[in-house]
Amino acid sequence: MLKVENLRAGYSGDDAVRGISIEVTEGSCIALVGANGAGKSTLAKTLCGLLTPRGGRVIFDGKEITGLSASEVARRGLCLCPEGRRVFGPLTVEENLLLGAYPRLPSFGPFRRAASGDLQRIYAMFPRLRERRSQQAGSLSGGEQQMLAIGRVLMANPRFVVLDEPSMGLAPLVVKEVFEAICSLHASGMTILLSEQFAKIALVVSNYAYIIERGSVVLEGASKGLAENPAVMSAYLG
Partner 1 sequence: MDAKYLALVQMAVGGGVMGMAYALVAYGFQLTYAAGKAVNFGQGELVMLGAFAGITLSGIGLPYWAVVPGAMVVGALLGWFIERVAVRLALKQRNEGWILLTIIVGLFALSSVENIWGREDRPFPVPWPAEALDFFGISFTWSELAIVVGALGMMTLVELAKRYTMAGIAVQAVSADPDAAELCGIRSQSAISLSWAVSGAAAAFAGTVIGPVTTVGPTMAAALTLKAFSVAVVAGLDSGFGLVIAGVALGAAENLSGYALGSGWREAPGLILLILALALRPQGVFGKKIIRKV
Binding site for partner 1 (CB under 8 A): 48-50, 69-71, 74-75, 79-80, 82, 86-91, 95, 98-100, 102-103, 105-108, 111, 152, 156
Residue 216: CA atoms inside 13 Å, Cβ hemisphere, count? 3
Nearest to partner 1 of 1, 79 (CB atom):
79
Nearest to partner 1 of 32, 87 (CB atom):
87
State the DSSP H helix or E strand holding residue 80, giving kind and residue range, or none if neither.
Answer: strand 78-81
What is the nearest approach in angstroms of partner 1 to the Cβ of residue 237? 28
Nearest to partner 1 of 169, 225 (CB atom):
169
Nearest to partner 1 of 75, 214 (CB atom):
75
Q: Are strands 78-81 and 160-164 parallel, antiparallel or unpaired?
A: parallel
Rg (CA), the chain: 18
What is the nearest approach in angstroms of partner 1 to the Cβ of residue 47? 12
The count of other CB atoms within 10 Å of the CB of residue 172 is: 10
User: Cα angle vertex 209, ends 212, 67, to 5°?
Assistant: 65
What is the nearest approach in angstroms of partner 1 to the Cβ of residue 118? 13
d(CA 52, CA 103): 22
Nearest to partner 1 of 79, 226 (CB atom):
79
What is the nearest approach in angstroms of partner 1 to the Cβ of residue 121? 17
What is the nearest approach in angstroms of partner 1 to the Cβ of residue 150? 13
DSSP state of 30: E
